[in-house]
C-alpha cells in the first residue's frame, strides 16, 4: 500500500527488513517493515491472518469496512507482489520521486488507502507539505522540477492510458529528463502502485487502518 519517500530525513523508513516466516508454504520472504513497506498490505503469517479492517468512526458520514483479506485468500500471489514491490524499491528511481508517483497514481485511481498511506510516508521522508497539496495541480504549480514534471506526466499517461496510446510528445518529454533505464524502471514503479491501488480499491482497505503496523502514526497526520 507499498506502498510515497536533500529532503530525506532520518525516520522509520531506515528500519531494517525483518524475516517473516510463512509456515503454510514452508518458505520465508524478507519484507520491509515500517513506512518503507509501502503498499504491501498486511505483512504477517498467513497461518495467523489479521482480522479485516473494522468500520472507521464516521459521526454520521460514510462507513467503510474491508470486504475480504486478500493476503489470506491469495497468499502465493500476495507474496509475489511483495517481492515485486521490494525490487521496485531498489530501482534507479529515487525515493522522493517514487513517493510522488505513488500519491499521484493513487489520486487518479481514487484509492483512499494508498493516498492516505503514501502522503504519510512522504511526510516521514521529509517531503514539504505544500508540494503534497500541489501534487493534484502539478501542471500549474511552480514547486516541481522538470524531472519531476516529466515523471508525473508519464505516471498519468500509464495510469490513464489514452485511447490511442501514449503520445510521442510525452515520451520525448520524459526522454529529456530520464535515461532509458530510468524510464523503464519508472514504468515498473507505476505498474506497482497501480496494482496495489486496484486490490485495495476492490476490497475497500480502510485508510489508516495499518498506520501502527507500518509506523505511519509517527507522521502525526491522524
> pLDDT for 188-215, tens place per residue?
999 999 999 999 999 999 999 989 999 9
The answer to whether residue 118 is domain-embedded is yes
Q: What is the DSSP letter of 28?
A: E
- Using an 8 Å Cβ cutoff, are 170 and 161 in contact? no
The answer to whether residue 210 is domain-embedded is yes
The answer to whether residue 152 is domain-embedded is yes
The answer to whether residue 5 is domain-embedded is no
Least confident of 35-49, 63-77, 134-148, 205-219: 35-49
Q: Residue 62's pLDDT band (boundaries 50, 70, 90)?
A: low
Please give the tally of structural domains in the chain: 1
Query: Which residue, among 188, 25, 211, 207, has the nearest Cα to 102 in the 3D structure?
Result: 188
The answer to whether residue 7 is domain-embedded is no
The answer to whether residue 1 is domain-embedded is no
The answer to whether residue 130 is domain-embedded is yes
Predicted local confidence at residue 44, as pLDDT: 43
Owning domain of residue 104 = 12-219
> pLDDT for 156-165, tens place per residue?
999 999 999 9
The answer to whether residue 3 is domain-embedded is no
Predicted local confidence at residue 74, as pLDDT: 93
The rounded distance, in Å, linking the Cα atoms of 118 and 125 is: 10
Residue showing cell 527488513:
17
Kindly state the average pLDDT of the residues 89-94: 97
pTM score, two decimals?
0.74
CATH code for the domain in which residue 116 is found: 1.20.1290.10
Amino acid at each position: 500500500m507499498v506502498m510515497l519517500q536533500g529532503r530525506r530525513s532520518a525516520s522509520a523508513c531506515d528500519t531494517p527488513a525483518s524475516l517473516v516466516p510463512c509456515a503454510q508454504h514452508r518458505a520465508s520472504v524478507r519484507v520491509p517493515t515500517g513506512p518503507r513497506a509501502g503498499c504491501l498490505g498486511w505483512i504477517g503469517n498467513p497461518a495467523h491472518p489479521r482480522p479485516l479492517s473494522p468500520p472507521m468512526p464516521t459521526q454520521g458520514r460514510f462507513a467503510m469496512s474491508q470486504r475480504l483479506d486478500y493476503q489470506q485468500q491469495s497468499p502465493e500471489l500476495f507474496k509475489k507482489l511483495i517481492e515485486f514491490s521490494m525490487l521496485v524499491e531498489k530501482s534507479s528511481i529515487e525515493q522522493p520521486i517514487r513517493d510522488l508517483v505513488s500519491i499521484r497514481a493513487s489520486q487518479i485511481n481514487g484509492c483512499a488507502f494508498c493516498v492516505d498511506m503514501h502522503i504519510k510516508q512522504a511526510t516521514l521522508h521529509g517531503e514539504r507539505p505544500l508540494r503534497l497539496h500541489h501534487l493534484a495541480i502539478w501542471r500549474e504549480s511552480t514547486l516541481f522540477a522538470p524531472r519531476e514534471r516529466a515523471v508525473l506526466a508519464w505516471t498519468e499517461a500509464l495510469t490513464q492510458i489514452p485511447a490511442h496510446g501514449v503520445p510521442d510528445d510525452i515520451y520525448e518529454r520524459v526522454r529529456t529528463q530520464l535515461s532509458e533505464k530510468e524510464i523503464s524502471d519508472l514504468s515498473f514503479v507505476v505498474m506497482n502502485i497501480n496494482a496495489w491501488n486496484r486490490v485495495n480499491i476492490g476490497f475497500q482497505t480502510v485508510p489508516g487502518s495499518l498506520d501502527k503496523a507500518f509506523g505511519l502514526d509517527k507522521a502525526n497526520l491522524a
